Amino acid sequence: MAGVTGTRPAPRLRAGRVSVPPVVGVAAALVALLTLVPLAVIAYDTVGAGWSEVSRLVFRDRTLELLANTGKLVVGSVSLCVLLGVGAAYLVWRTDLPFRRLVHVAMVAPLAVPAFVNAYAWSSLVPSADGYSGALVVVTLSYFPLVYLPVTAALRGADPALVESAAALGLSASATFRRVTLPQLRPAVLGGGLLVALHLVAEFGALALIRFPTLSTAVYDQFRSSFSGPAANTVASVLVLVCLLLLTGELTLRGRTAYARVGGGAARASVRIPLGRWTLPAAAGLLLLTLAAVVLPVVSVMRWFVAGSSSAVDLPVLLSTTASTLGLGVLAALTVTVAALPVAWLTVRRRGVLSTLVERITYIGTGLPGIVVALALVTLALHALPALYQTTTMLVAAYAILFLPRAIVSIRAGLLQLSPSLEDAAATLGVGPIGVLVRVVIPVIAPALGSGAALAFLGASTELTATLLLSPLGTQTLATQFWSYSSAIDYGAAAPYAALLILVSAPAAVLLTRYDGQVAS
């Protein structure tokens, strides 16, 4: 409750009292098992192919080249993202830069442009933007906010007294940054950097458009040529290994940084450093970044939109595509929310080894590329469940695995605000368990349920990779329709879809910033 701060620790008898109904535990375990399916299928298939076949496929020049490309892109782009993210956050939150609020919005805005739309915008405007350098520019501009957001949170949460003490001890501004501020930012920088790396390893659409082959695009190419042969699955398993490695790093870090996040509230504003003659260069740099990351893609899409309208937009196709996108989005939102609720409930109300395990397993979805989830489900359908192949059920299952972590984070935050003493108070007023659920729990966490559902809806509406592989015959979404036009270099026809994709992504960007960019896949 606002305005009330406990002066004494809460009674320590609360644990053990709150019982979680067994049905919640069972449901949470089933959800965790569902998210394990892709990993299990890939592992089973790789083992089934036999060691000699696997080693032949893995240790050939092509795979090693793809691995090298992926590594090159990760190292290059993560470095640039950290440089841009930390630099921008420091300028916005610690200096007297003009128009700071506006700059802050501009630094988050790139999240509203899906990376593959950004790639289309750049390559249609600058045809020479391809290969490594083109890929580096496009993905960096798309993903640097993932570093900017956690660094912003860390800077705002940090105690200004530390910087003041350093100044009192005689340190210069630059020495203070190096010896006091930077060490405090380390967890945020590492966490944001790992998140960027996970996105880069999983990125398919942008890199395919820019024609820079990585493990992710190779899985798609292999799938196209040999369907779900061992070749595609082997490359996928290398991809999974890379992702799991990054995910382990991210999870370890998350566990350790929890304490470093000072709870929000009214932290004293820190003294801002005057930029002086550096004001102009700093402002110009941020303006350039905004132009490249936000203005250019939007202008490019609009230009093609205007140019393409002469060649008449196929309105019925646009409408039917929008309708099927909305339908799939709603289905995904409902499924994800229903699946996330028991997991969130279990992890909030019953801390323990098992509930932590369930939560960690469902978090794997953040680290699994859409292409891997899709390939695994195709493989599973072909071998075991042919009736489900190319059905809406399977596509929604893929969405559920991919977007579950977003909904869990959101619903967890809501449940954490629901103090058990609210349920006690309701009971003494004569309300039974069902009444408590209907009159207290659901109304209190309704906003959290809503934003969890919205995140899943928006994620599914702009998802490209899994949709390409799993959508039922004849079903097109905004993303897949955009993809078929833009990969055929029909930029004008792709423009309306690009504009709609940006419109759908924008609210997701706003919602994601609320959770400090913890989960933004």
Partner 1 sequence: MTGEGVAITIEGLTHGYGGPAVLRGLDLTVPSGHTTAVLGPSGCGKTTLLRAIAGFIRPQAGTIVLGETIVTSPTRSVPARARHVGYVAQEGALFPHRDVAGNIAFGLSLSGLRPRARTHAARVDELLTLVGLDLSLRHRMPHELSGGQQQRVALARALAPEPSVILLDEPFSSLDTQSRSETSAATTAALRARGVTAVLITHDPREAMSLADTIAVLDGGVVAQHGAPEEVYGRPASATVARTLGPANLLAADVRDGHADTALGCLELGPRGHAGPDRGLADLGVGGSTRHTLVVVVRPEQVLVSSSESPGSVVAQVVSSTYHGHDHLLRLRLAGGTVVDSRSSSAVRPQVGDHVHTSVDGSVPLVTTDGPAG
Contact residues: partner 1, CB under 8 A: 1-8, 10-11, 13, 16-17, 417, 419, 421-422, 424-432, 439-440, 443-444, 446
Nearer to partner 1, 265 or 430 (CB): 430
CB of 42 to partner 1, least distance (A): 44
Residue 110 neighbours by CB under 8 Å, 6+ apart: 118, 141, 142, 143, 144, 145, 293, 294
Q: Which is nearer to partner 1, 28 or 441 (CB)?
A: 441
Give the nearer residue to partner 1 in terms of CB position, either 298 or 440: 440
To the nearest whole angstrom, how small is the minimum distance from the Cβ of residue 198 to partner 1?
A: 35
Residue closer to partner 1, measured from CB, 13 or 387:
13
- Which CB sits closer to partner 1, 323 or 442? 442
Residues 6+ apart with CB under 8 A from 34: 339, 397, 400, 401
Choose among 86, 74, 75, 108: nearest CA to 508: 108
For residue 19, which phi and psi values (nearest 5 degrees)?
-100, 140
Of the two residues 131 and 420, which places its CB atom closer to partner 1 in the complex? 420
Residue 128 or 428: the one with the smaller Cβ distance to partner 1 is 428
Rounded to whole angstroms, the Cα distance separating 505 from 458 reads 6
Least Å from the CB of residue 410 to partner 1: 17
The whole-angstrom separation of Cα 403 and Cα 393 is 15
Amino acid letter, residue 186: R
Closest CA relative to residue 224, chosen from 403, 456, 425, 465: 465
Let me know: does 517 contact 326? Beta carbons within 8 Å: no
User: Rounded to an integer, what distance in angstroms lies between the CA atom of residue 477 and that of residue 463?
Assistant: 9
Least distance to partner 1, CB of residue 418, Å: 9
Shortest Å distance, C-beta 5 to partner 1 = 7
Least Å from the CB of residue 9 to partner 1: 8
419, two tokens: 């103090």
What does residue 84 show for φ and ψ, rounded to 5 degrees?
-70, -45
Distance of closest approach, residue 18 Cβ to partner 1, in angstroms: 10
CB nearer to partner 1: pick between 209 and 445: 445
What's the rounded Cα separation, in Å, for the pair 310 and 300? Answer: 16
Minimal distance, residue 437 CB to partner 1, in Å: 13
What is the distance between the alpha carbons of residues 239 and 329, in angstroms, rounded to a whole number? 27
Yes or no: say if 81 and 143 are a contact pair by the CB < 8 Å rule. Answer: yes
